[in-house]
Structure 1
Amino acid sequence: GGDGRKGIVSTASYPARKFGIRSGMPTFQAKRLCPQVIILPVDFRYYGLLSREFFAFVRKYSKKVEKASVDECYVDMTETLKGVADVHAYLVEMQNLLLKKTGLKCSIGVGPTKFLAKMASDMKKPMGLTILRRRDIPKLLYPLPIRDFYGIGRKTSPKLEATGIKTIGDLAKRINADDSDLHLILGKFFFVIKDWVNGYGNDELDLEPWDPKSIGNSSTFMHDTNDFSEIKEMIASLAKEVSERAQAERKKGSTVQIVIKDTEFKTINRSMTFEQPTNEYEVIFDKALTLLERHYKGQLIRLVGVTLQNLIDPRDLVIQMSLFDYRKHEEESTTKLLINELNRKLKKPMLIRASEIDTENKGDKNED
């Protein structure tokens, strides 16, 4: 969300995508493509609650889950589906139950490899269900345009199209003929993609928890500025967003980094590492502001960013503190857990600690 130059599209609804709007696009460009588009503010705390509900639901069906993103995963259902007479009906019931319990719609793709499952899940959205077996590949996969091939980026697909490859079927035919041009375009991924288009490849899940290495936000000013108070307000807003995302992901970090980009697109990155990992807004903002005061030289700038790095799971953290500090920490943690639980039941976060009220008000005009 956000207005003018500073906003970035986090995700786009399916109707918006028909106008060419996509994730990562500046909001001014989205408005140009679709003047009637409705842009909503982001709410990381709410997304975190929904994400945890989603994965808790999935793990009731199988413990073998590879988390691909905050709302996407690969699930090994081999044992779960043994003895199930009608797999299609079973999975439709699973979709409907998820919708009933969480309000979330999902698409399911079933295949013998992760690639085929991913491609199948993208074929029908939302609330789609596609089973893509190896024998179905010529009928279901090969007619798709090459730009829909998962793993081939926006830079590579035009190169393939320039050689006459318009569909995945065209790619399969050429790659199976050991086309020398494709060796040059695809490089070391030639044989990986050859396996994929023939229905083979990786089917093993990475069962390690999905962990972001850092959590950050950046924002572009409406106009180039060297107004320190304006820059400080933006840093405060970004620190707040980073804090909320870290708390939603249940992560703490021991390094804060700021990025400053000037009007000549020169970028300054500065960071500060500290002993006690945190996800508290006050600490993140304090460190980011200290870095800004030390390294900002008064030049006109167009963008600033704040990132929390060296993330850990707080459950792995041994906190060094006195007996009285421990009691205070325990009380604060209990309060946060209670607020989070009430917000979860309300389905939309409406409660915050009193100490955050001023913070909320200060950051309003800069939140995307």
Structure 2
Amino acid sequence: MSKVILHIDLNAFFAACEVLRDPTLKGKPLIVGGANRRGIVSTASYEARKYGIHSAMPTYKALRLCPNLIIKEPDFKLYHHYSSLFFNYLKDHVSPLLEVASIDECYIDATERLKNNRNPIGFIKELQQTLLQEIGLGCSIGVAPTKFLAKMASNYKKPLGITIYRRRELANTLWKLPINEMYGIGKATAPRLLALDIKTIGDLATTEDPEVKKLLGKSFFTFKEWANGRGSDEVIAEEEDPKSIGHSSTFMFDTENYEEISALFKEMSNSVSERAKREGKVGLTIQIVMRYYNFENVNRSVTLNKPTNNAITIFYEAMKLFDKNYKDEPLRLVGVTLQKLSDEGSLVEQLSLFDDFNEKSKTEVIIELLNEEYDKPPFLRLSDLKRDD
């Protein structure tokens, strides 16, 4: 029996959060991103998109298209707040089998929830409306038997779309989409596939062209499985008493930019630290994951002398692992995980703030305490700075 997988994607999430904070922004062209000349659009409201503004566009170009454009600097604390409300609502009202894909999207295994429901589409429509009315967030929902198909379905119609992909109907639905719309096919790969006469997802689903196999390498078989409805249907939910605490995030576009990669590692390290402290956990091993543009995953880890939940330590060790193992190819995703967890209170030695700490630990504690006093932390370690190229 096929599973029912939902992929729920919040529409223009960062912009929607800004409107929730300031309702006077509703209906106005708005972007979230850098306001300076080198700034980039992170998210554009649907009103801004009518002017041709889109993600990754330089801010100065967006202003040329819409001189009265409203620009908001990113506020990730606000976005994480609404993201938590969103995920917690889904866990409580749909299923605890929820896998977070990024700050504004997730997969849910709704098989059991909808098994005896006589009107599953009605349930999904009501869910969409409730999220909009009670939390204030619009979303698009994809319904399918696999995670890939569900994600493709949620992307088909925005905003506030509900799309169903069934295996028996793929030739008339998914396969008709242009190849550049297939999840995982990057901007650099799509033109090369077009040159090989792979114009649609259906073309890729049915081809055995050796040149296409050569171009895509190992990913050829993955993409073909996905397009034929045979991808993974396993939703990996967080454990109640986790053996590890981790966070990962996907870049808006594949990147080799060290500063951008480092900034995301820092954000992930802070998230891991905050959650570990909230749950009273410390970990002995720090692991990073790097997912390259071709979906190759690389995991590397280091075991410390003593367990930690310190954000600076986690970031420092994560960047050491990255610097040692990165192979200068575009990255799609990075993540940080704290492993071999134990209870913070179970440590035999109950140390005061500085008792028996080495000099490195003292410095880390001081920096963290001082940084808490500032909106933008002014105190950095050398590992916080961009390396020389």
Structures share a fold, TM > 0.5? yes
User: Which structure is higher in strand share?
Assistant: 2
Q: 1:311 deviation in Å? A: 5.8
Aligned residues: 278
**8 Å contact 2:114–2:120 — kept in the other structure?**
yes
Q: Map of 1:1-368 to 2, 5 A cutoff?
A: 1-17=33-49, 21-31=53-63, 35-60=67-92, 61-173=94-206, 175=207, 178-208=208-238, 211-212=246-247, 246=271, 250=275, 277-279=309-311, 312=338, 318=344, 359-360=374-375
Which letter does structure 1 place at the counterpart of 2:163? T
Whole-Å separation in 1 of the counterparts to 2:273 and 2:47: 28
**8 Å contact 1:44–1:245 — kept in the other structure?**
no
Q: 1:246 deviation in Å? A: 3.4
Matched residue SS, 2:106: strand
Q: 1:360 deviation in Å? A: 4.0
Q: Deviations over 1:292-311 (max 9, x none)?
A: xxxxxxxxxxxxxxxxx966
Where does residue 20 of structure 2 map in the other structure? none
User: Which structure is higher in helix share?
Assistant: 1
> For the structure 1 residues 247 and 26, does the alpha-carbon distance in structure 2 shift closer, same or farther, using more than 3 Å as the test?
farther
> For the structure 1 residues 142 and 34, does the alpha-carbon distance in structure 2 shift closer, same or farther, using more than 3 Å as the test?
farther
Whole-Å separation in 2 of the counterparts to 1:113 and 1:82: 16
Which structure has the greater CA radius of gyration? Answer: 1
Matched residue SS, 1:212: strand
Whole-Å separation in 2 of the counterparts to 1:357 and 1:187: 47
Higher deviation after alignment, 243-252 or 123-132: 243-252
Q: Deviations over 1:257-279 (max 9, x none)?
A: xxxxxxxxxxxxxxxx9975445
Which letter does structure 1 place at the counterpart of 2:219? F
Whole-Å separation in 2 of the counterparts to 1:243 and 1:130: 32
Which letter does structure 1 place at the counterpart of 2:71? I
Q: Specify every segment of 5 or more residues in structure 1 that has no aligned partner in the other structure, as ranges.
A: 221-237, 256-272, 288-308, 327-354, 364-368
Q: 1:359 deviation in Å? A: 2.5
> For the structure 1 residues 20 and 32, does the alpha-carbon distance in structure 2 shift closer, same or farther, using more than 3 Å as the test?
same
Whole-Å separation in 2 of the counterparts to 1:150 and 1:215: 13
Matched residue SS, 2:139: coil
Q: 1:154 deviation in Å? A: 1.3
Whole-Å separation in 2 of the counterparts to 1:214 and 1:74: 15
Whole-Å separation in 2 of the counterparts to 1:243 and 1:197: 32
Q: Deviations over 1:311-337 (max 9, x none)?
A: 649x956167869869xxxxxxxxxxx
Matched residue SS, 1:110: strand
Q: 1:24 deviation in Å? A: 4.1
**8 Å contact 2:139–2:159 — kept in the other structure?**
yes
**8 Å contact 1:111–1:131 — kept in the other structure?**
yes
> For the structure 1 residues 14 and 243, does the alpha-carbon distance in structure 2 shift closer, same or farther, using more than 3 Å as the test?
same
**8 Å contact 1:47–1:248 — kept in the other structure?**
no
Whole-Å separation in 1 of the counterparts to 2:250 and 2:198: 38
Whole-Å separation in 2 of the counterparts to 1:214 and 1:91: 27
**8 Å contact 1:114–1:203 — kept in the other structure?**
yes
> For the structure 1 residues 251 and 18, does the alpha-carbon distance in structure 2 shift closer, same or farther, using more than 3 Å as the test?
farther
**8 Å contact 2:97–2:235 — kept in the other structure?**
yes
Whole-Å separation in 1 of the counterparts to 2:235 and 2:250: 24
Q: 1:211 deviation in Å? A: 2.8
Matched residue SS, 1:90: helix
Matched residue SS, 2:176: coil
Identity %: 44
Whole-Å separation in 1 of the counterparts to 2:274 and 2:377: 24
Q: Deviations over 1:109-144 (max 9, x none)?
A: 011111111111111111111111012212221221
**8 Å contact 2:247–2:272 — kept in the other structure?**
no
Matched residue SS, 2:95: coil
Which letter does structure 2 place at the counterpart of 1:154? K
**8 Å contact 1:6–1:219 — kept in the other structure?**
no
Whole-Å separation in 2 of the counterparts to 1:72 and 1:24: 19
**8 Å contact 1:214–1:311 — kept in the other structure?**
no
Which letter does structure 2 place at the counterpart of 1:57? Y
Q: Deviations over 1:171-214 (max 9, x none)?
A: 234x2xx1111111111111222222222121112234783269
Which letter does structure 1 place at the counterpart of 2:80? G
Where does residue 338 of structure 1 map in the other structure? none
**8 Å contact 1:121–1:128 — kept in the other structure?**
yes
Q: 1:104 deviation in Å? A: 0.9
Which letter does structure 2 place at the counterpart of 1:318? E
